[in-house]
Amino acid sequence: MRFVTVVYAGAERPGVLDGDEVVLLPYDDVVAVIEAGTDAVLTGERIPFREQDLRAPLRRFRRDILCTGWNYWDHFEESRGKREGQDVDRPEHPTFFTKGPDVVVGPNDPIAYDPALSAKWDYEAELALVIGRTGRSINVEDALDHVWGYTLANDVSQRDLQRAHGGQWLKGKSIDATMPLGPWIVTPDELGDPQDVRLTCLLNGEVMQDASTKQMAYDIATLISELSFGMTLRPGDLLLTGTPSGIGNAREPQVFLKEGDEVVTRADKIGELRNTLAYQELT
């Protein structure tokens, strides 16, 4: 199944994509659907599917968006010596950080861009997952049972802000209206093996990132187990699982995003995000 959020009759509504139609669901949003469980999904009004009606599938968060850094070793290594004095050894456990929830935009929405805020805007294509069951200190063997579905994100980052705040990434990862999410949430039975997903990022038509989730340093089950150690995960929590190599900051010469750039994030088993950077005053 593919769960969407669409605009209908002037309001955002959750639904299930069924061919060229959306079955509207009798809930306030996708988080409410997750809490009810997919077994509680009822048949509802059918409307034509229009791509322009899509919104980010998740809009309501109990906490910051949960994220994983350095989860592809080729990405970790490509940035060695380019972290402006913040280099570290390879971590022995996953690296986690958070993003403020106001970063989220839809799969076709503009990415807010303000050059007065940062001179180093970068792209990061990522597979993301949505938690479906409450759990704490979850065993690796049980971890995937806590996944409700998978989606795509582009963790657009401001590298100069990321380096400027004591090595903590929150500030350089939490600028409003800069993280595309979607286009929908794919349930695990439809996705299949989450460690066999092809992930790509294109900038103005040029492939910048191209990798398989098989290349992750820590697989998804390990991420969930380590993140939940002593910390409760709840239905609707969103976890980004890291980006592969090819980021603009690590290239020679460096490549940073600018107004008018189109960034496309794709996964062969999910779909694509297609977003253009558009000026918005953020300072």
CATH superfamily entry for domain 60-279: Fumarylacetoacetase-like, C-terminal domain (3.90.850.10)
Buried b (16+ CB within 10 A) or exposed e, 66-93: bbbbbbbeebbebbeeeeeeeeeeeeee
In the chain the beta strands, taken as DSSP E runs, fall at 2-8, 11-18, 21-24, 46-48, 54-55, 65-69, 95-99, 104-105, 111-113, 121-122, 125-131, 147-154, 157-158, 179-186, 198-203, 206-212, 238-240, 262-267, 271-279
Which amino acid would we find at residue 13? R
| Alpha-carbon span 193 to 225, nearest angstrom | 18
User: What pLDDT score was predicted for residue 166?
Assistant: 79
Residues carrying CATH 3.90.850.10, the chain: 60-279
Mean pLDDT along residues 82-102: 87
Q: Is 243 left (phi over 0), alpha (psi -120 to 50) or beta?
A: beta
Residue 89 reports pLDDT greater than 90 = no
Mean pLDDT along residues 106-112: 98
Residue 84 reports pLDDT greater than 80 = no
**Residue 168 banded pLDDT, cuts 50, 70, 90:** confident
- Between the two ends of the chain, the Cα-to-Cα distance in Å is 40
Instruction: Give residue-wise pLDDT tens across range 10-67.
Output: 999 999 999 999 999 999 999 999 998 866 566 789 999 999 999 999 988 889 999 9
Residue 163 reports pLDDT greater than 90 = no
Contact between 251 and 79 under an 8 Å Cβ cutoff? The reply is no
Which DSSP string corresponds to 209-250? EEEEGGGBSS-HHHHHHHHTTTS-B-TT-EEE----S--GGG
* Residue 139 tokens, joined: 């065993």
| Ranges 80-84, 114-118, 144-148, 205-209: which has the least confidence | 80-84
**Residue 270 banded pLDDT, cuts 50, 70, 90:** very high
Averaged pLDDT of the chain: 94
Could you tell me the pTM of the whole model? 0.96
| Alpha-carbon span 74 to 191, nearest angstrom | 25
Buried b (16+ CB within 10 A) or exposed e, 16-37: bbeeeebbbbebebbbbbbeee
